[in-house]
């Protein structure tokens, strides 16, 4: 389920799983690297408060997730961009 398609917003800090549009690298037909391919991945997010209201935030599965999940930081940036698009952050 995409964030835009949620029928009702979850309570603050409740963890939900969504399909997040992100950018990934991949291998092309000729064996070369293709950068910034659009992909959809499942990520856990929650609503959190900030100075302007609320926004979406990624949830870590464990404390050291950034050390083994090399896409976590990129996905965090994509989610921040989505927060700007939705008007949650200015």
* C-beta atoms surrounding 61 within 10 Å: 11
* C-beta atoms surrounding 75 within 10 Å: 19
- pTM of the full structure: 0.77
Task: Tell me the per-residue pLDDT of 32-85, one tens digit each, with 9 for 90 and over.
Answer: 999 988 999 999 999 999 988 899 999 999 999 889 998 999 899 989 999 999
Can you read off the two tokens belonging to residue 19? 């399909």
Q: Report the pLDDT value the prediction gives residue 5, as an integer from 0 to 100.
A: 62
């Amino acid at each position: 389920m995409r964030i835009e398609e949620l029928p009702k917003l979850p309570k603050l800090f409740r963890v939900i799983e969504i399909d997040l549009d992100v950018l990934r690298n991949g291998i092309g037909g000729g064996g070369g690297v293709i950068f910034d391919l659009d992909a959809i991945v499942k990520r856990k997010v929650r609503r959190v408060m900030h100075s302007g209201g609320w926004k979406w935030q990624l949830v870590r599965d464990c404390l050291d997730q950034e050390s083994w999940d090399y896409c976590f930081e990129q996905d965090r940036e994509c989610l921040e961009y989505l927060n700007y698009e939705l008007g949650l952050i200015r």
